[in-house]
Amino acid sequence: MQAFRPSFRLLNPLLAALTAAAVLAAAALAVALPAAAQPSEPNAPLPHIYLQAGIHRIKAEVADSQEERSRGLMLRKSLQANSGMLFVFENAALHCFWMKNTLVPLTIAFMEDDGTIVTLTDMQPHNEASNCPAKPVRYALEMEQGWFKIKGLKTGDRISGLRR
């Protein structure tokens, strides 16, 4: 009696077709997920703290989790006067920002642990270019574009009241 031997000539094309289909399905899912995961409305206001920049008082929402930092000020149509968002990171690093899905022109201040501003950068709505600090920082403060200039604040000035 002869043992049954499957014909690999038939299985190989079938296996190749199934593998190709699985790869295509996974690729389609990977492309579809980020679009579906994009926010459709602004995040609810986050808890806030008050910061001090010379004589100027800032009401800053605090984004200190990965999810909060990822959403930031996306889809907000405006900011209140003297208000912004403080991004708090666990460690100092070259944390870069972009303006995807952000409607309001912003200026970002990248700050050292003691609140010293190391970089000020204007950012335009919907621009996906990376905006990075000149050196590793632990904090970033986004305010309405031009706020720092109007208040006379520049690189080297210090903002106090940061969370540790």
Give the whole-angstrom CA distance, residue 57 versus residue 80: 13
pLDDT in tens, 128-163: 999 999 999 999 999 999 999 999 999 999 999 997
Domain 48-150 is in which class?
Answer: mainly beta
Cβ proximity of 42 and 74 under 8 Å: yes
Q: Is the separation of the CB atoms in 90 and 82 below 8 Å?
A: no
Rg of the chain on CA atoms, in Å? 24
- Is residue 60 pLDDT above 90, yes or no? yes
* pLDDT, tens digit (0-9, with 9 covering 90-100), for 97-132: 999 999 999 999 999 999 999 999 999 999 999 999
Compute CA 97 distance to the chain's CA centroid, rounded to the nearest angstrom.
Answer: 6
CA atoms within 13 A on the CB side of 38: 11
* Residue 83, both tokens: 């208000």
**In the chain, where are the structural domains located?**
48-150
